[in-house]
Amino acid sequence: MERPVAAQPEPPHRVGPVERLTSTDHKNVGILYCVTAFGFFLVGGALAGLMRVELTEPARQVVSTQAYNTLFTIHGTVMIFLFVAPFGIGLANYLIPLQIGAPDMAFPRLNLTSYWFFAGAGLLILLSGVASASGGAAMGWTAYTPLSELRYSPGVGLDLWILGIVLVAISNVMGGVNILTTVFLMRAPGMTMWRLPIFTWNMVVTAILGLVAFPPAVAAFALLFIDRRLGGHAFDPLGGGDPALYQHLFWFLGHPEVYILILPFFGIITEVIPVFSRKPLFGYLGIVLATIAIGALSMGVWAHHMFTTGVVNNPFFSAMSLLIAVPTGVKFFAWTGTMWRGKIHFTVPMLFALAFLLNFLIGGVTGVMLASAPIDFHMNDSYFVVAHFHYTIMGGSVFAIFAGIYFWFPKMTGVMLRERLGRVVAALLFVGFNLTFWPQFVLGLRGFPRRYVSYPADIGFDTPNLVSTIGYAVLFAGVVVFLADVAVSLWRRVPAGDDPWDANSLEWVTTSPPPEHNFDALPQIRSERPAFDLRHPELAP
């Protein structure tokens, strides 16, 4: 069979700022999402730097107690709601139509509206930390009641924060509807659900989670707002309200949100590993079923965040939380099986994928520990939890984000990122990350509570905190080198070609960057690896 010729790349078209900000093309919206989310990552990272500087030595030295509270509140909110989750949605916007052979997302205007709701939410959340003379948002990203009631958090910062989170929720619901409709109704002929690329499968489950988990949280935030501004008492114990109800509603979003933060990036890793192992994915069906199982189970584990409240059934939630390790283990098994006896190419995306596996394994194992209620009673609200969370979300999702950037940057821009600089970035981020967060496990085991601005000297907290801050400096250097890599690559413009990696999924069949409606001609889809089938028709099923 003759291999179809991909469309010739169009001459570079300089996109003006107005066109960039108003174009409904899914590729443009995807890039807007990713760039904006990465900007928020830099902001959130800077806030983390201030916290690390403050904690380098015992006693308070750089920021006030209240400012420190605002720092960790906005840092957490930005990283969770404005960086990791939206970056996944951005990649989904860019990739899903390309991976399923569609010309665009199902609702392009809704897509752009979803982006602007996210950008507006970001603005409000940043303002909530700084623009309020009477007190910025400083209650932690969970906004637990009664701390977040007007009596204890009197400024308007928290109100702006609530509005920002509600806009994030609206944006997520819009994005979820768009993703599901696109995947269910706009697939190319022959692209059955069992041939969907794994990234797209993961985004389907992520979209479902967003659709079912955000509305109860919006209800919680609306009730909190009514408590604060309109005299309600839903969560105010002094008025007969129930603070535990807030925690139920919040964590019914909050824990699935953790999977909204990780499932898209499981998808990236599952795309990257087979390509650079030069093998088909081991256990496609198992991975898809594991993804659906993780999504379903994640809806039933929210109250493991409430073990110590004494108002939930700990054995039920402990069992559900431990169960989730099974499908996650299936994924690890499939990733390892894919690499087993493969011809592994240690390119930059693969290095990040391997770093992801190591980091996420530690995050996952400590998660299993925390799913056990007796251990959680000891570790609750300590730095052990902080370290666990960062090993899953930063060591997992953020490393996968970098794998995805290095993997798909050539498709998005038509130029390659620099391989050598990329290796430096991978090394700095891996070393910096582990230097920063491993000592925090030690801090937690020694009893250092999270969210404390200072600590006494000579009781075992000094050295881990110092090492952690040094680690942050290495991480910071890694991000600087990455930004330099992007700048140099866009300046030098080494052409990538349509498929620089000999990859598997459909987006690699079209040009880099793809034309306006993605494909001039679609190939016949015979398996979950249409690009591979085109290169090797003799092996196609």
Partner 1 sequence: MRTTVWMMLALFAFGAISGTIYWFVTYEPAGTLLLWSFSLMPLIVAGYLVLHGGVRVGTPADDPEATPDRAAGQELGTFPAASTWPVVLVLGSITVGASLVYGLLLLPVGLGVMALAVLGLMRESRD
Nearer Cβ to partner 1 (163/416): 163
Q: Which two tokens stand for residue 487?
A: 């700048």
Q: Which two tokens stand for residue 478?
A: 């890694």
Written as one string, the DSSP assignment of 188-203 is PTT--GGGS-HHHHHH
Q: Whole-number minimum distance, CB 411 to partner 1, in Å?
A: 20
Q: Could you tell me where the DSSP H helices lie in 396-461?
A: 399-413, 419-445
Nearer Cβ to partner 1 (29/339): 29
Q: Compose the 7-46 pattern: x for residues touching partner 1 by CB under 8 A, - for all others.
A: ------------x-xxxxx---------------------
Q: Does 271 bind partner 1 (CB under 8 A)?
A: no
Q: Does 515 bind partner 1 (CB under 8 A)?
A: no
Nearer Cβ to partner 1 (11/189): 189
Q: Whole-number minimum distance, CB 29 to partner 1, in Å?
A: 10
Q: Does 522 bind partner 1 (CB under 8 A)?
A: yes
Give the residue, chosen from 64, 65, 66, 192, that forms a contact with partner 1 under the rule CB under 8 A: 192
Q: Which two tokens stand for residue 463?
A: 């050295």
Closest by CA position to 332, among listed 350, 358, 352, 295: 358
Cα angle 379, 384, 386; round to 5: 120
Give the residue, chosen from 1, 59, 152, 184, that forms a contact with partner 1 under the rule CB under 8 A: 184
Nearer Cβ to partner 1 (8/313): 313
Q: How far apart are CA 128 and CA 159, in angstroms?
A: 8
Q: Residue 449 forms beta bridges with which residues?
A: 382
Give the residue, chosen from 68, 83, 117, 408, that forms a contact with partner 1 under the rule CB under 8 A: 117
Instruction: Count Cβ atoms below 10 Å from residue 311 Cβ, excluding itself.
Output: 13
Nearer Cβ to partner 1 (86/410): 86
Q: Whole-number minimum distance, CB 300 to partner 1, in Å?
A: 5
Q: Whole-number minimum distance, CB 248 to partner 1, in Å?
A: 4
Closest by CA position to 43, among listed 66, 67, 75, 70: 75
Give the residue, chosen from 38, 40, 199, 252, that forms a contact with partner 1 under the rule CB under 8 A: 252
Written as one string, the DSSP assignment of 45-89 is HHHHHHHHHHHSSSS--SS-HHHHHHHHHHHHHIIIIIIIHHHHH
Q: Does 143 bind partner 1 (CB under 8 A)?
A: no
Contacting residues for 386 by C-beta, under 8 A, at least 6 apart: 437, 440, 444, 450
Nearer Cβ to partner 1 (56/527): 527
Q: How far apart are CA 93 and CA 96, in angstroms?
A: 6
Q: Whole-number minimum distance, CB 345 to partner 1, in Å?
A: 31
Q: Whole-number minimum distance, CB 230 to partner 1, in Å?
A: 9
Q: Does 160 bind partner 1 (CB under 8 A)?
A: yes
Closest by CA position to 164, among listed 206, 219, 127: 127
Task: Please give the residue ranges that form the binding site for partner 1 (CB under 8 A).
Answer: 19, 21-25, 102-104, 108-109, 112-113, 115-117, 119-120, 123-124, 156, 159-160, 163, 166-167, 170, 180, 184, 186-195, 208, 211-212, 216, 225, 229, 245, 248-249, 252, 292, 295-296, 299-300, 302-303, 311-313, 316, 320, 517, 521-526
